[in-house]
Amino acid sequence: MRKKSLLLVLGGLLGMASLHAQLYTIEAENYSAMSGVQTEPCSEGGLNVGWIDAGDWMAYNSINFPTSGTYRIEYRVASINGGTLSSDLNAGSIQLGQVTIPATGGWQNWTTVSQTVTINAGTYNFGIYAVTGGWNINWFKIYQQTSSSSLLWSDEFNGTSLDANKWVYEVGGGGWGNNELQYYQSGTANTTVSNGTLKIIAKKQSVGGYQYTSARIKTQGKYSVQYGNIQGRMRVPMGQGLWPAFWMLGNNITSVGWPACGEIDIMEHVNSESNVYGTIHWDAGGHASYSGSYATTPQNWHVYSINWSSNNIRWYVDGVQYHVANIQNSINSTEEFHRPFFFILNLAVGGNWPGAPNGTTPFPATFEIDYVRVYSADMSLNDKVATEVATPTSAAEFAVSLYPNPASNGFVQVKLSNRIDNTTKVSLIDMQGRLVWSGSFAGDDFRISTDQLTPGYYNVLITNGSNTIARKLQIQ
């Protein structure tokens, strides 16, 4: 057990959270109260909670469980020797059960464990208790399992090799229609599975007349889906000429070709941009496309998802919607999106969009995927979101992005979506829970000076109307 000091912190500033209709992620360090734990930099970005001994605990206030029923709670954990946690509601008055934490081989070797619980509708203070110590926690997720949204297919990448029953490799060069520069290989040359994640690795390596190698895998012939809630948790490499993607093509591509088969890009990223992109491509008497973007920290872990129904396709980052495409009644010749599609994961090098790599591009570059999951499309959620987006009323729709993050140029830009009031209050809180700065701003886009702040990690609380969102910020 690592040596630590005992610390007790009570307060509500960092415990504000609301449960998304399907999935919500809560960073472990955003507790409302705790005993005995400390925070530290995390290999997955930001901070994790560590230095956990038996009897330590964390509480997260005012977590809303909107309906009575079954919930899945996932925990991102790491441990050298393993351990046990338990979860509860309202300071232990309702016990939810214990979860075994496996030995992952290191304090920063992360894996995901879960429990399924039944909870009555209501707002509770959620607690995590260390039955035994010796483990770290990065985040936890609460997922509402409803009759209208059930798990259809998944790959958690918990084995030691790619599952050949779910994926096939695409091999070769030729530019792949985009003047890409890599040669895709099969096997472990550019693809590994370890510590609960899939790694697709691009290398500067001469093979088959190409100067770069990488991997591209797909579920074609193994699994396809028509409509659903499709999710992937992943982080991407940053660098000139790198092009990771999580996307879908229509099953009929071999008979009708592209773009008549249709394409749904759940997540694309290029170079070192802060934006990720969601796009559809189709044939409307010629190639047509419709794209949206979202500013985030792509090098860190995020859940990228779509909710695809017969009416529309909606794109999300960490449960926040940023783009929607209307496909109802095949409007604008979008009949392609009413047929089955298969999945693709790849890391391209070069191409028309990102351009070629240069001397600053970090090779090998790794595109890391924690899981891919498919749930039945929640039609009731789809209709509800369509109504609420027009009149934002909840924190689930109020969205915030901070950039650059880490902030190294003396400022951070704040961009808001779906604000209710013209005035927004921003508070910066250090890792000891101290308020170090606060201010009020008008409009959707404003800049905060960081010149006077000590380098390190901060929690940023952004309040607009009755909505409050917490974000992590690193100042270099």
Active site residues: 263, 268
Cα 206 to Cα 196: distance, rounded to the nearest angstrom:
30
* Phi, psi at 95, each rounded to 5°: -90, 130
Strands (E), 272-375: 275-283, 287-295, 302-308, 312-317, 320-326, 341-349, 365-375
Cα 472 to Cα 270: distance, rounded to the nearest angstrom:
23
* Phi, psi at 30, each rounded to 5°: -90, 45
What distance, in Å, lies between the first and last C-alpha atoms of the chain? Answer: 31
What is the token pair recorded at 342? Answer: 């298969």
User: If we measure between CA atoms, which residue out of 169, 159, 174 comes closest to residue 189?
Assistant: 169
Q: How far is CA 237 from CA 143, 216, 245, 348, in A?
A: 28, 15, 11, 11
Give the list of residues 6+ apart from residue 3 with CB closer than 8 angstroms, or none.
none
CB 7 within 8 A of CB 58: no
Sheet containing strand 287-295, strands side by side: 168-169, 216-218, 341-349, 242-250, 263-268, 275-283, 287-295
Cα 51 to Cα 285: distance, rounded to the nearest angstrom:
61
**Which amino acid is present at 204?**
K
Cα 217 to Cα 44: distance, rounded to the nearest angstrom:
24
User: Which ranges in 97-210 belong to alpha helices (H)?
Assistant: none
CB 136 within 8 A of CB 48: yes
Cα 275 to Cα 188: distance, rounded to the nearest angstrom:
30
Sort 366 into a burial class: Cβ within 10 Å, 0-12 / 13-18 / 19+: middle
Cα 294 to Cα 385: distance, rounded to the nearest angstrom:
18
Give the list of residues 6+ apart from residue 403 with CB closer than 8 angstroms, or none.
274, 295, 297, 412, 413, 415
CB 169 within 8 A of CB 186: yes
Strands 57-65 and 94-101: unpaired
